[in-house]
Amino acid sequence: MLGAALCAVQLSAQPKLTADNIEEVLGAMTLEEKAELCVGLIHYAPPAAGSRNYVPGAAGNTKAIPRFGIPSTVLPDGPAGIRIDPTREGSDRTYYGTGFPVGTAIASSWDVDLVENMTAAMGNEVLEYGADVILSPAMNIHRNPLCGRNFEYYSEDPVLTGKIGAAYIRGIQSNGVGTSVKHFAVNNQETNRHENDSRVDTRALREIYLKGFEIAIKEAGPWTVMSSYNKLNGEYTQQSYDLLTRILRDEWGFDGIVMTDWGSKEGTVKAAAAGNDLMMPGNETEVQRLIDAVKSGELPEADLDRNVKRMLEYIVKTPHFKGYKYSDAPDLKAHAKVARAAATESMVLLKNEDGVLPLKGTEKVALFGISSVDFVAGGTGSGNVNKAYVVNMVQGLENAGFTLVESLKDFNQKYVDFQKLNMRIGGESILLGESKVPETGLSKTYINSLVPESDLAIVVIGRNAGEGGDRRVDNDFNLTETERQLLNDVTTAYHLAGKKVVAVMNIGGVIETASWKNLADAILLAWQPGQEGGDAVADVLTGKVNPSGKLPMTFPVAYMDHPSSYNFPTGLETPGRRGRNGSEGVKNWDYTDYAESIWVGYRWFTTQDKAVSYPFGYGLSYTTFEYSKPVVKADRDGNITASVTVTNTGKVAGKEAVQLYVAAPAGGMEKPARELKAFDKTKLLAPGESETLTFSITPYELASFNIDANEWETAAGSYTFYFSKNVNDLSTSAKVSLKKAGSYEVTDAYAHIK
Ligand code: BGC
């Protein structure tokens, strides 16, 4: 009797977790419970089907500890929408996520408000499908055009990356759910992605590869960060105290949790000590390692406690902790509209000779290219959203009222159906995504026969890539012979008859354009625009929406023009020949030298004055814009205010993304010819209408990293600010002089790597 009473007292004394008693709960947890909380649970004990904490298809869960009222939380993938299973056993409902445009596409909008609005809708699906954190945004730099996951990432420039990432985070988190900024850091290739060692000097690390993360973390406060699989200068990022504690927390003030990418690596103890709070997806060995390490004194219990405390601080913010009653019924119709609008704003018009676009008087269209049917909404792998449908270009153009040449449409459809069936029968493994059917040839006779039947030809060129593999130079970056032939034959036939040809690029990463761009009269870069893609392309082709996207990366003349191409896997690496710690291993497989340092993308091309096919920031409109009244002022502390007036000088309404590049004073550290420091987009300006855009830049944002002094430095002297349509437009500028030099101290993280 007495025993039962004591037991009741003990149970009622059990603290239930609240936002205010985290220390108390931490104090009451056993070592085993602490270790459990720091390791995810998917591998050995997913919550029971039907549980409110089980969302089939989500990438992972954290563990529940019921005696403290700690729920399991749910972590599905992104970034182009929530990735969960669309159907469930025992349920006749569906659970589709909206397929939004991919990362590279939304970065091409140069519109932080648009991105924030879009991810506000996406975050609502995270909330309403019973999840807590979406595993995005993905913010690695486009170091090289061939990275298979570039479509998930934003740009070759860290400021564009950081600002778009920050907007993405704000939108998602406005719903009371979290984000996981990934893959932290320097995860710029897929080849041997679990083991590859990115060897990069500290200046490039800080200015190029970390800067975007720094901006997003400081500006938007993501709940979580995902450390990457790769090594950085010889150490796994997930085990790097320099990266996860000194830089991320001590310098940038990040106060959320860090989780690993889905790796289950050895070295759990080192990861926990480094400040990697959560091991995902988790297994029992990792729990045991943590327990043993604390018992043996290898891991100070204080380190584990610090991580557990951060886990608890995370838990109390989540919808599951708050008992949110999710509906499983987000408004997918409304979100489809958001996806369509975002897609149109992200498309880039690269060429428009004789104003062929928007289409006028076109009724009958010959739609070439099997990607018009096998349209790519988004890339493969964990970034592939399970969407209810994809509007392809056939449907998009028909919805917009065009008549398509029937025989061609039928042929493409049948060819794609047949090939997909073949792939399935052949057992081709398609990693978590959509396959891409290769282009097929058409005879010149057949193409010629279509000319009289149609007013215009459209040729669609498609590409797909994704997690686990990098792209190739031949037949991927470069066109296939079949694609080249098709473009040649179609343009020859239509031009002979005085008819126009429009090329549409349905791609997730850069392809070669220099050798064929002269053929087509207009080129629209549609990217991988999400489930509403076909309708969005039609919106732009018809002029319902005036394109205003601009390139978030350079389109080089040739692949080898990028200095990183000399140190990037091109498919020839031999797996299996491993050196000790990768140090004597195979180049670009075991390790990759970032020998180009800061000379990534336009920083290289502008400084070398090297010709490109399309420069960073490039994109046309159906109207024209003039920039005037450039003004730049600095206050006593060196804080800069810049402004420029943009006027729509054409005949239709349009938006313009203005880019602010800065050329630093000569002397001192070697710097790129110019660097993007800020950008903004006008509202929809009516013909004749003007808007003045204002930008603020701090002296810290002008700083470069001095490796020898291990600090950020802003030189005194005269700075030129270019208000540009793209990185090569130097027509509107103003200068300002900074009287005082500035320096900004950092920790000694990676200071030894010059
Ligand atoms: C990917 C991550 C993803 C995770 C969970 C990993 O393989 O690299 O981007 O979030 O899997 O699916």
Q: Whose CA is nearest to atom 3 of ligand 1?
A: 382
Sign (positive or negative) of CA dihedral 138, 155, 650, 643: positive
Q: DSSP string covering 542-572, please? A: HTSS------SS-EESSGGGSGGGGGS--S-
DSSP H helical segments within 158-283, as ranges? 158-173, 202-204, 211-220, 241, 268-274
Q: What is the pLDDT of residue 573?
A: 59
Closest-lying ligand 1 atom to the alpha carbon of residue 383: 9
The reply to whether 444 and 544 lie within a common domain is yes
Instruction: Tell me whether residue 136 is in a domain.
Output: yes
The three-state secondary structure class of 77 is strand
* Inter-CA distances, 412 with 363, 375, 378, Å: 20, 11, 20
CATH number at 251 reads 3.20.20.300
Q: Which residues are catalytic?
A: 261
Domain boundary among 322, 350, 380: 322
Residues with CB under 6 A from ligand 1: 59, 77, 135, 182, 261-262, 382, 467
Kindly report the CATH number assigned to the domain that includes residue 711: 2.60.40.10
Cα of first residue to Cα of last residue in the chain, in angstroms, is: 71
CA 29 to centroid of ligand 1, rounded, Å = 30
- 619 within 8 A of 656, measured Cβ to Cβ: no
Integer Cα distance of 716 and 286 in angstroms: 51
Atom 5 (ligand 1): residue with closest C-alpha? 59
393 and 517: one domain?
Answer: yes
Closest CA to 542 of 563, 527, 557, 522: 522
Nearest-CA residue for ligand 1 atom 9 is 382
Q: In this structure, are 597 and 728 located in the same domain?
A: no
- The residue segments making up the domain with residue 180 are 2-85+95-322
**Cα separation of 465 and 380, whole Å?**
6
Q: To test the ligand 1 pocket, which listed residue (74, 184, 382, 467) has its Cβ within 8 A of the most ligand atoms?
A: 382
Q: How does pLDDT run across 63-106, given as a tens digit for each residue?
A: 999 999 999 999 999 999 999 999 998 889 999 999 999 999 99
Q: Are 86 and 392 in contact (CB under 8 A)?
A: no
Contact 456, 354 (CB under 8 A): no
In a domain, 752, yes or no: no
554, 580, 600 — which closes off a domain? 554
Closest CA to 283 of 268, 263, 264, 303: 264
Tell me the per-residue pLDDT of 642-692, one tens digit each, with 9 for 90 and over: 999 999 999 999 999 999 999 999 988 999 999 999 999 999 999 999 999
Q: Do 629 and 565 belong together in one domain? A: no
Phi, psi (degrees; rounded to nearest 5) at 676: -70, 130
Q: Which residues contact 432 (CB under 8 A, 6 or more apart)?
A: 380, 381, 382, 384, 466, 467
Same-domain status, 265 and 116: yes
- pLDDT, position 575: 54
Residue 116 shares a structural domain with residue 146: yes
**Rounded mean pLDDT of the chain?**
94
Ligand 1 atom closest to Cα of 78? 10
Looking at the CA of residue 183, tell me the nearest atom of ligand 1: 9
- Does 187 share its domain with 309? yes
Same domain, 368 and 435: yes
Element of type H or E holding 456: strand 456-462
Phi, psi of 696 (to 5 degrees): -120, 135
- Choosing from 612, 635, 652, the residue where a domain stops is 612
| CB-CB contact of 620 with 551 (8 Å) | no
Taking 50 as the pLDDT cut, the residues of the chain under it are: 1-12, 429-433, 577-583
Please tell me the residue having the least CA distance from ligand 1 atom 4. 262
Q: What is the DSSP letter of 377?
A: S
pLDDT of residue 7: 45
Q: What distance in angstroms lies between residue 297's CA and the mean position of ligand 1's atoms? A: 32
Residues 591 and 731 in one domain: no
Token pair listed for 570: 């091109």
- C-alpha to C-alpha distance for 746 and 5, rounded to whole angstroms: 57
Q: Nearest Cα to 115, choosing from 40, 35, 171, 34?
A: 171
Kindly state whether residues 597 and 459 are assigned to the same domain: no
113, 91 Cβ separation under 8 angstroms: no
CA of 266 to the centre of ligand 1 (A): 18
Read off the tokens for 624.
Answer: 């024209």
Are 684 and 654 a contacting pair, CB within 8 Å?
yes
In a domain, 751, yes or no: no
**Residue 60 alpha carbon, nearest atom of ligand 1:** 5
Give 133 Cα–ligand 1 centroid separation in angstroms: 13
CATH number of 507's domain:
3.40.50.1700
Q: How far apart are CA 152 and CA 149, in angstroms?
A: 6
Residue 205 sits in the same domain as residue 230 = yes
Has residue 331 been placed in a domain? Answer: no
Q: Which helix (H) or strand (E) holds 312?
A: helix 301-315
**How many beta carbons lie within 10 A of that of residue 646, not counting itself?**
26
DSSP three-state, residue 539: helix
Q: What is the model's pTM?
A: 0.96
Asked, for residue 90, whether it belongs to a domain, the answer is: no
Closest ligand 1 atom, residue 228 Cα: 8
Task: Say if strands 690-697 and 640-648 run parallel, antiparallel, or are unpaired.
Answer: antiparallel
CB 198 within 8 Å of CB 592? yes
pLDDT for res 574: 54
Q: Distance, CA 180 to ligand 1 centroid (Å)? A: 11
CA of 382 to the centre of ligand 1 (A): 6
- Cα distance between residue 471 and residue 477, in whole Å: 7
Judge contact between 548 and 528, C-beta under 8 A.
no
| 391 domain-assigned | yes
Query: Quick one: 394 and 294 in the same domain?
Result: no
329 within some domain: no
The crossing angle, in degrees rounded to 10, of helices 284-296 and 301-315 is 140
User: Tokens representing 727?
Assistant: 């990185």
Q: What is the residue with the minimal CA distance to atom 8 of ligand 1?
A: 261
What is the count of structural domains for the chain? 4
Residue 496 within any structural domain of the chain: yes
3-state SS, residue 622 = coil
